[in-house]
Amino acid sequence: MKHEKMKLVKLLDEILCFSFIHDATEMNINIKMDDEKYIIQFKDNSKGVSKERIENIKEMINVEKQPEMEEYYWELVGQQDYNDEFTLVGLMSDKASIHYDPEKGLSLTLYRNFKKNNK
C-alpha cells in the first residue's frame, strides 16, 4: 500500500491536533506493528471534552473503513489545526476504541491493517 507510513503519521497529526486544541500538556504515543496491522495507542491529559463530543468521536472513528475516501483525501488528514472532526481517522482505521476520563484525559486505540508486501 503506497504511502502507508505517511498515512500513519497523518493519523497521528490529527490526534495530536485534538489534544492541543483541548489543552493537553502531556501526550504519550505507542505504536506496535505486527505482520498485518499497526496498533496506535494514544493517551493524553486533555481537558474539558464534553460527553456528547466523545460520543460523536466514538461514532466517527467506528465508521466502516472506506478505501476510496482514504485514497482521495488522506493528504488532508491532520492538515488543519482548527479541525478535530475525526471523520477521516475513522474512514482510515479498521477498528478503534476511545475512552475519556475528565480527570485523566483521553485514551484512544486505533487498528490499521496493511498489505505486508507493500508496506
Partner 1 sequence: MKKRLSEKIKFKIIAFYLIILIAFALFTTPLNEILPGYKKILFSTDILISDYIKIGGLGSAFINSGLLGLIALLFIKINKTKLNGLSIAAIFTISGFSLFGKNTINVIPIIIGVWFYSIYQKENFNKFIIPALFGTALAPMVSQIASIFNFSITGIIFGTLLGIIIGFIIPPIASHVIVAHEGFNLYNIGFTAGIIGTILISVFRAFNFDFQGHLIWSTNFTKPIFIFLCLYFTSMIIIGYILANQNNQSIKNLKKLWKRPGRAVTDFVISDGFPLTLINMGIMGLAYTLLIILIKAPLNGPVVGGIFTIVGFSAFGKHPFNTGPVVIGVLLGALTKGWTLQNPSFILALLFSTTLAPIAGFFGSISGIIAGFLHLTVVGNLVYLHGGLNLYNNGFSGGLVATFLYPLLDGLKKER
Name beta bridge partners: 28. 43
Q: Which helix (H) or strand (E) holds 18?
A: helix 4-21
Binders of partner 1 in range 7-36 (CB under 8 A): 21
Of 36-44, 85-93, 95-103, 105-113, the window that binds partner 1 (rule: CB under 8 A) is: 85-93
- Sequence-distant (6+) residues with CB within 8 A of 38 are 8, 31, 32, 110, 111, 112, 114
Q: Of these, 25, 28, 80, 113, which contacts partner 1 (CB under 8 A)? A: 80
Q: Which residues pair with 100 in a beta bridge?
A: 106
Is residue 97 a contact residue for partner 1 (CB under 8 A)? no
- What residues between 58 and 77 interact with partner 1 by CB under 8 A? 58-60, 62-64, 66-76
List of residues contacting partner 1 (CB under 8 A): 1-2, 21, 58-60, 62-64, 66-76, 79-80, 82-83, 85, 87-88, 90-91, 118
